């Protein structure tokens, strides 16, 4: 059993996943700093000097000076400022991952095109090799015009 576990733990996919999780955690802190320290301050200037993380809706009849006071008292609050911050962080992460994947795909395309043989062509959508007379790509299922 120990040998099996050792083989599993050092398998390439597990190590790659661990590295991805560690880098993802560090990247999350960078994005949080980007949102809190760079993106939100100019936005708060548009709406007045506002700390988005402190914006909330009090659902009780009692008044509180800050979100921390309300939470310490156990009051029901909607912390919409923290939600806006989380949404901005998500959008930045999603856009960054999109740019990263886009660049990786660009780097892979020349390899696929170079591997084409005289009786094959590259699909213009997914760049996989397909027969010249194919009317539909078997990889991405895109409809193609036959080569003449």
How many whole angstroms from its chain centre is CA 138?
28
Q: Looking at residue 95, what is its pLDDT?
A: 86
Q: Looking at residue 72, what is its pLDDT?
A: 92
User: Tokens standing for 103?
Assistant: 């660049």
Tell me the torsion sign for CA atoms 137, 138, 142, 146.
positive
User: Tokens standing for 115?
Assistant: 């591997």
Q: Looking at residue 73, what is its pLDDT?
A: 92
* Residues 67-104 pLDDT 10s: 889 999 999 999 998 898 888 888 888 888 788 888 87
pTM: 0.52
Write down the residue that tokens 């699909």 correspond to. Answer: 123
Ranges of the chain whose pLDDT falls below 70: 12, 109-117, 146-148
Q: Looking at residue 143, what is its pLDDT?
A: 87
Q: Taking a C-beta distance cutoff of 8 angstroms, is the pair 35, 88 a contact?
A: yes
Q: Looking at residue 39, what is its pLDDT?
A: 81
User: Tokens standing for 108?
Assistant: 């892979």
């Amino acid at each position: 059993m120990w040998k099996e576990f050792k083989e599993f733990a050092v398998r390439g996919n597990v190590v790659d996943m661990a590295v991805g999780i560690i880098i993802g955690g560090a990247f999350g802190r960078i994005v949080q700093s980007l949102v809190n320290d760079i993106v939100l301050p100019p936005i708060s200037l548009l709406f007045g000097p506002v700390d988005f993380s402190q914006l909330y809706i009090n659902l009780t009849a009692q008044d509180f000076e800050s979100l921390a006071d309300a939470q310490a008292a156990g009051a029901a609050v909607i912390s919409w400022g923290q939600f806006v911050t989380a949404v901005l962080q998500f959008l930045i992460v999603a856009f960054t991952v999109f740019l990263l994947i886009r660049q990786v795909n660009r780097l892979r395309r020349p390899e696929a095109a170079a591997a084409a043989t005289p009786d094959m062509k590259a699909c213009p959508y997914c760049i996989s090799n397909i027969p010249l007379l194919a009317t539909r790509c078997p990889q991405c299922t895109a409809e193609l015009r036959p080569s003449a």
